[in-house]
Structure 1
Amino acid sequence: MANYIQEIRALVGHKPILLNASGGILLNDQGQVLLNLRTDTHNWSLPGGYLEYGETFDAACIREYREDSGIDVALVAPIGLFDQGFTTYPNGDQAQVITRLYLVRAVGGQALQQATDETLDLQYFSFDDLPPLLNQQTADMLAAAQTYCQSHEH
Protein backbone atom coordinates (compact mmCIF):
# COMPACT_ATOMS: atom_id res chain seq x y z
CA MET A 1 0.00 0.00 0.00
CA ALA A 2 2.07 2.85 -1.37
CA ASN A 3 0.40 5.77 0.37
CA TYR A 4 -1.77 4.45 3.13
CA ILE A 5 -2.18 7.76 4.97
CA GLN A 6 -3.28 9.63 1.84
CA GLU A 7 -5.86 6.91 1.20
CA ILE A 8 -7.19 7.22 4.77
CA ARG A 9 -7.27 11.03 4.54
CA ALA A 10 -9.27 10.78 1.30
CA LEU A 11 -11.92 8.93 3.31
CA VAL A 12 -11.93 10.88 6.59
CA GLY A 13 -10.77 14.36 5.59
CA HIS A 14 -9.15 16.35 8.41
CA LYS A 15 -10.83 14.40 11.26
CA PRO A 16 -8.55 13.42 14.15
CA ILE A 17 -7.03 9.97 13.59
CA LEU A 18 -4.43 7.81 15.33
CA LEU A 19 -1.15 7.40 13.47
CA ASN A 20 1.96 5.41 14.30
CA ALA A 21 5.40 6.88 13.73
CA SER A 22 9.02 6.05 14.37
CA GLY A 23 11.99 8.35 14.88
CA GLY A 24 15.62 8.37 15.81
CA ILE A 25 18.13 10.14 18.01
CA LEU A 26 21.51 10.53 16.30
CA LEU A 27 24.27 12.17 18.31
CA ASN A 28 27.50 13.71 17.07
CA ASP A 29 30.83 13.51 18.90
CA GLN A 30 29.85 16.55 21.00
CA GLY A 31 26.67 14.86 22.22
CA GLN A 32 24.42 17.08 20.10
CA VAL A 33 21.29 15.68 18.45
CA LEU A 34 20.47 15.92 14.74
CA LEU A 35 17.19 17.70 13.94
CA ASN A 36 15.53 18.48 10.63
CA LEU A 37 13.78 21.73 9.70
CA ARG A 38 10.40 20.69 8.31
CA THR A 39 9.00 22.06 5.07
CA ASP A 40 5.35 21.81 6.23
CA THR A 41 5.53 23.54 9.62
CA HIS A 42 8.86 25.40 9.39
CA ASN A 43 10.01 24.19 12.78
CA TRP A 44 12.32 21.42 13.92
CA SER A 45 11.71 17.74 14.61
CA LEU A 46 13.54 14.46 14.80
CA PRO A 47 14.10 12.61 11.53
CA GLY A 48 11.38 10.00 11.32
CA GLY A 49 7.82 9.58 10.18
CA TYR A 50 4.71 7.51 9.77
CA LEU A 51 4.59 3.76 9.35
CA GLU A 52 3.19 2.52 6.09
CA TYR A 53 0.60 -0.27 6.33
CA GLY A 54 2.34 -3.53 7.27
CA GLU A 55 5.62 -1.86 8.23
CA THR A 56 7.33 -2.29 11.61
CA PHE A 57 8.52 0.53 13.89
CA ASP A 58 12.11 -0.66 13.28
CA ALA A 59 11.84 -0.60 9.49
CA ALA A 60 10.02 2.74 9.47
CA CYS A 61 12.71 4.38 11.59
CA ILE A 62 15.47 3.29 9.20
CA ARG A 63 13.46 4.24 6.07
CA GLU A 64 12.22 7.57 7.38
CA TYR A 65 15.61 8.56 8.79
CA ARG A 66 17.15 8.16 5.36
CA GLU A 67 14.28 10.05 3.68
CA ASP A 68 14.49 12.97 6.13
CA SER A 69 18.28 13.19 6.47
CA GLY A 70 20.06 11.21 3.76
CA ILE A 71 21.80 9.21 6.49
CA ASP A 72 21.59 5.42 6.76
CA VAL A 73 21.20 4.37 10.38
CA ALA A 74 21.22 1.22 12.47
CA LEU A 75 19.06 0.93 15.56
CA VAL A 76 21.05 0.90 18.79
CA ALA A 77 18.33 0.79 21.47
CA PRO A 78 14.69 1.73 21.99
CA ILE A 79 14.28 4.85 24.13
CA GLY A 80 10.54 4.87 24.58
CA LEU A 81 7.01 4.98 23.25
CA PHE A 82 5.30 8.37 23.18
CA ASP A 83 1.51 8.48 22.81
CA GLN A 84 0.62 12.12 23.46
CA GLY A 85 1.52 13.57 20.05
CA PHE A 86 -1.50 15.75 19.35
CA THR A 87 -0.82 17.72 16.18
CA THR A 88 -2.81 19.89 13.80
CA TYR A 89 -0.91 20.28 10.53
CA PRO A 90 -1.02 23.43 8.37
CA ASN A 91 -3.40 21.69 5.92
CA GLY A 92 -5.90 21.09 8.77
CA ASP A 93 -5.20 17.38 9.30
CA GLN A 94 -5.42 16.38 12.97
CA ALA A 95 -3.73 13.37 14.50
CA GLN A 96 -2.70 11.72 17.72
CA VAL A 97 0.71 10.37 16.81
CA ILE A 98 2.11 7.37 18.67
CA THR A 99 5.87 7.40 18.19
CA ARG A 100 8.50 4.76 18.93
CA LEU A 101 11.83 6.48 19.54
CA TYR A 102 15.22 4.83 19.05
CA LEU A 103 18.82 5.71 19.65
CA VAL A 104 20.48 5.23 16.27
CA ARG A 105 23.99 5.32 14.84
CA ALA A 106 25.07 6.32 11.35
CA VAL A 107 26.20 3.44 9.14
CA GLY A 108 26.27 5.12 5.72
CA GLY A 109 24.69 7.63 3.43
CA GLN A 110 25.41 11.32 3.58
CA ALA A 111 23.58 14.21 5.19
CA LEU A 112 21.36 16.05 2.73
CA GLN A 113 23.13 18.99 1.11
CA GLN A 114 19.94 20.57 -0.28
CA ALA A 115 16.30 20.94 0.64
CA THR A 116 13.84 18.15 -0.17
CA ASP A 117 10.04 18.02 -0.12
CA GLU A 118 10.17 17.23 3.64
CA THR A 119 13.42 18.73 4.94
CA LEU A 120 14.68 22.31 4.53
CA ASP A 121 17.79 21.94 6.69
CA LEU A 122 19.65 19.60 9.05
CA GLN A 123 21.58 20.75 12.08
CA TYR A 124 22.97 19.37 15.31
CA PHE A 125 21.73 21.02 18.49
CA SER A 126 22.66 20.76 22.15
CA PHE A 127 19.87 19.29 24.29
CA ASP A 128 20.11 22.47 26.36
CA ASP A 129 19.79 24.86 23.38
CA LEU A 130 17.01 23.58 21.14
CA PRO A 131 15.30 25.51 18.32
CA PRO A 132 11.49 25.92 17.95
CA LEU A 133 10.09 22.38 17.91
CA LEU A 134 7.17 20.77 16.06
CA ASN A 135 5.13 19.96 19.16
CA GLN A 136 5.18 18.89 22.81
CA GLN A 137 5.78 15.27 21.85
CA THR A 138 9.04 16.27 20.11
CA ALA A 139 10.11 18.12 23.27
CA ASP A 140 9.14 15.10 25.40
CA MET A 141 11.13 12.74 23.16
CA LEU A 142 14.21 14.97 23.29
CA ALA A 143 13.98 15.19 27.10
CA ALA A 144 13.69 11.40 27.36
CA ALA A 145 16.61 10.96 24.97
CA GLN A 146 18.75 13.33 27.01
CA THR A 147 17.96 11.40 30.20
CA TYR A 148 18.58 8.07 28.43
CA CYS A 149 21.93 9.18 27.02
CA GLN A 150 23.09 10.61 30.36
CA SER A 151 22.24 7.37 32.16
CA HIS A 152 23.96 5.18 29.52
CA GLU A 153 27.27 7.06 29.24
CA HIS A 154 30.27 4.84 29.67
Structure 2
Amino acid sequence: MANYIKEVRNLVGHKPLILNAAAGIVANNQHEVLLNLRTDTHNWSLPGGYLEYGESYDDAMIREYKEDAGLDVEIVKPLGLFDQGFTKYPNGDVTQVISRLYLVKPVGGHTLETATDETLDLKYFPLDQLPPLLNQQTADMLAATKTYFDGLAR
Protein backbone atom coordinates (compact mmCIF):
# COMPACT_ATOMS: atom_id res chain seq x y z
CA MET A 1 0.00 0.00 0.00
CA ALA A 2 1.92 3.01 -1.30
CA ASN A 3 1.66 6.30 0.59
CA TYR A 4 0.51 4.54 3.75
CA ILE A 5 1.88 7.28 6.00
CA LYS A 6 0.15 10.01 3.99
CA GLU A 7 -3.13 8.15 4.38
CA VAL A 8 -2.62 7.79 8.14
CA ARG A 9 -1.66 11.47 8.47
CA ASN A 10 -4.85 12.45 6.64
CA LEU A 11 -6.78 10.64 9.38
CA VAL A 12 -4.84 11.75 12.48
CA GLY A 13 -3.30 15.08 11.47
CA HIS A 14 -0.15 15.99 13.42
CA LYS A 15 -0.88 13.66 16.37
CA PRO A 16 2.32 11.88 17.49
CA LEU A 17 2.79 8.50 15.79
CA ILE A 18 5.10 5.56 16.35
CA LEU A 19 6.50 4.56 12.97
CA ASN A 20 8.97 1.96 11.71
CA ALA A 21 11.89 2.86 9.47
CA ALA A 22 15.00 1.35 7.97
CA ALA A 23 18.33 3.00 7.17
CA GLY A 24 21.59 1.89 5.63
CA ILE A 25 25.26 2.64 6.03
CA VAL A 26 27.38 2.81 2.88
CA ALA A 27 30.99 3.53 3.74
CA ASN A 28 33.98 4.21 1.53
CA ASN A 29 37.49 2.78 2.11
CA GLN A 30 38.23 5.49 4.70
CA HIS A 31 35.08 4.50 6.67
CA GLU A 32 33.40 7.78 5.72
CA VAL A 33 29.63 7.34 5.56
CA LEU A 34 27.23 8.51 2.87
CA LEU A 35 24.63 10.98 4.16
CA ASN A 36 21.82 12.78 2.38
CA LEU A 37 20.83 16.42 2.84
CA ARG A 38 17.07 16.35 3.36
CA THR A 39 14.65 18.66 1.58
CA ASP A 40 12.18 18.78 4.49
CA THR A 41 14.47 19.70 7.39
CA HIS A 42 17.64 20.88 5.56
CA ASN A 43 19.91 18.74 7.70
CA TRP A 44 21.66 15.43 7.12
CA SER A 45 20.50 11.86 7.68
CA LEU A 46 21.21 8.34 6.56
CA PRO A 47 19.47 7.23 3.39
CA GLY A 48 16.39 5.34 4.50
CA GLY A 49 12.82 5.89 5.48
CA TYR A 50 9.49 4.63 6.70
CA LEU A 51 8.10 1.20 5.96
CA GLU A 52 5.00 1.04 3.81
CA TYR A 53 2.17 -1.21 5.03
CA GLY A 54 3.13 -4.87 4.52
CA GLU A 55 6.79 -4.12 3.79
CA SER A 56 9.73 -5.68 5.66
CA TYR A 57 12.61 -3.67 7.15
CA ASP A 58 14.94 -5.23 4.55
CA ASP A 59 12.70 -4.33 1.60
CA ALA A 60 12.06 -0.81 2.90
CA MET A 61 15.78 -0.11 3.32
CA ILE A 62 16.57 -1.31 -0.20
CA ARG A 63 13.69 0.73 -1.70
CA GLU A 64 14.48 3.86 0.32
CA TYR A 65 18.19 3.71 -0.47
CA LYS A 66 17.36 3.76 -4.18
CA GLU A 67 14.93 6.68 -3.68
CA ASP A 68 17.20 8.73 -1.39
CA ALA A 69 20.62 8.01 -2.91
CA GLY A 70 20.11 6.42 -6.34
CA LEU A 71 22.00 3.27 -5.34
CA ASP A 72 20.95 -0.35 -5.51
CA VAL A 73 22.27 -1.92 -2.31
CA GLU A 74 22.69 -5.34 -0.80
CA ILE A 75 22.51 -5.98 2.93
CA VAL A 76 25.81 -6.98 4.51
CA LYS A 77 24.52 -7.21 8.09
CA PRO A 78 22.11 -5.59 10.53
CA LEU A 79 23.82 -3.16 12.94
CA GLY A 80 21.03 -2.58 15.43
CA LEU A 81 17.53 -1.50 16.32
CA PHE A 82 17.03 2.06 17.58
CA ASP A 83 13.76 2.96 19.34
CA GLN A 84 14.41 6.44 20.73
CA GLY A 85 14.02 8.55 17.61
CA PHE A 86 11.83 11.57 18.28
CA THR A 87 11.34 14.11 15.51
CA LYS A 88 9.12 17.12 14.98
CA TYR A 89 9.01 18.00 11.30
CA PRO A 90 8.61 21.54 9.94
CA ASN A 91 5.01 20.74 8.88
CA GLY A 92 4.08 19.91 12.51
CA ASP A 93 4.15 16.10 12.25
CA VAL A 94 5.59 14.41 15.36
CA THR A 95 7.02 10.89 15.40
CA GLN A 96 8.77 8.33 17.51
CA VAL A 97 10.63 6.18 15.03
CA ILE A 98 11.80 2.62 15.54
CA SER A 99 14.65 2.20 13.05
CA ARG A 100 16.52 -0.86 11.89
CA LEU A 101 20.08 0.02 10.81
CA TYR A 102 21.99 -2.02 8.25
CA LEU A 103 25.49 -2.08 6.86
CA VAL A 104 24.99 -2.25 3.08
CA LYS A 105 27.11 -2.28 -0.04
CA PRO A 106 26.30 -0.75 -3.43
CA VAL A 107 25.63 -3.30 -6.16
CA GLY A 108 24.29 -1.00 -8.88
CA GLY A 109 22.85 2.36 -9.74
CA HIS A 110 24.77 5.58 -9.18
CA THR A 111 24.56 8.36 -6.61
CA LEU A 112 22.03 11.01 -7.48
CA GLU A 113 23.53 13.98 -9.28
CA THR A 114 20.52 16.28 -9.05
CA ALA A 115 18.16 17.15 -6.24
CA THR A 116 14.94 15.17 -5.82
CA ASP A 117 11.83 15.82 -3.74
CA GLU A 118 13.58 14.15 -0.76
CA THR A 119 17.32 14.67 -1.27
CA LEU A 120 19.17 17.93 -1.96
CA ASP A 121 22.70 16.51 -1.85
CA LEU A 122 24.75 13.41 -1.01
CA LYS A 123 28.22 13.44 0.56
CA TYR A 124 30.60 11.18 2.43
CA PHE A 125 31.58 12.33 5.93
CA PRO A 126 34.15 11.06 8.44
CA LEU A 127 32.37 9.74 11.53
CA ASP A 128 34.23 12.25 13.71
CA GLN A 129 33.34 15.26 11.50
CA LEU A 130 29.59 15.02 10.99
CA PRO A 131 27.35 17.83 9.71
CA PRO A 132 24.12 18.96 11.47
CA LEU A 133 22.00 15.81 11.77
CA LEU A 134 18.24 15.18 11.61
CA ASN A 135 17.89 14.01 15.21
CA GLN A 136 19.49 12.21 18.13
CA GLN A 137 18.59 8.83 16.68
CA THR A 138 20.66 9.58 13.57
CA ALA A 139 23.57 10.53 15.85
CA ASP A 140 23.08 7.31 17.85
CA MET A 141 23.10 5.20 14.67
CA LEU A 142 26.30 6.87 13.47
CA ALA A 143 27.91 6.37 16.90
CA ALA A 144 27.04 2.66 16.71
CA THR A 145 28.56 2.56 13.24
CA LYS A 146 31.77 4.15 14.53
CA THR A 147 31.92 1.56 17.33
CA TYR A 148 31.44 -1.21 14.76
CA PHE A 149 34.23 0.13 12.49
CA ASP A 150 36.54 0.69 15.50
CA GLY A 151 36.01 -2.98 16.43
CA LEU A 152 37.05 -4.05 12.94
CA ALA A 153 40.28 -2.05 13.21
CA ARG A 154 41.43 -3.93 16.32
Q: Same fold (TM over 0.5)?
A: yes
Q: 1:48-89: per-residue Cα shift (whole Å, max 9, x none)?
A: 000000000000010000100001100001000000000000
Consecutive unaligned residues in structure 1, runs of 5 or more: none
Q: Share of identical aligned residues, percent?
A: 71
Whole-Å Cα distance in 2 between the matches of residues 57 and 152 of structure 1? 25
Provide the secondary structure at the position in 2 that maps to 1:111.
coil
Which AA in structure 2 matches 1:71?
L
Deviation at 1:30, TM superposition (A): 1.4
Provide the secondary structure at the position in 2 that maps to 1:152.
helix
The equivalent residue for 1:82 is 82
Whole-Å Cα distance in 1 between the matches of residues 12 and 90 of structure 2? 17
Deviation at 1:2, TM superposition (A): 1.4
Pairwise CA RMSD: 0.9
Whole-Å Cα distance in 2 between the matches of residues 149 and 57 of structure 1? 23
Deviation at 1:5, TM superposition (A): 0.3
The equivalent residue for 1:148 is 148
Deviation at 1:153, TM superposition (A): 4.2
Which AA in structure 2 matches 1:36?
N
The equivalent residue for 1:26 is 26
Q: Which runs of 4+ in 1 moved over 4 A?
A: none
Consecutive unaligned residues in structure 2, runs of 5 or more: none
Which AA in structure 1 matches 2:46?
L
Whole-Å Cα distance in 2 between the matches of residues 106 and 33 of structure 1? 13
* Count of matched residue positions in the alignment of Structure 1 and Structure 2: 154
The equivalent residue for 1:47 is 47
Whole-Å Cα distance in 1 between the matches of residues 44 and 31 of structure 2? 18
The equivalent residue for 1:111 is 111
The equivalent residue for 2:7 is 7
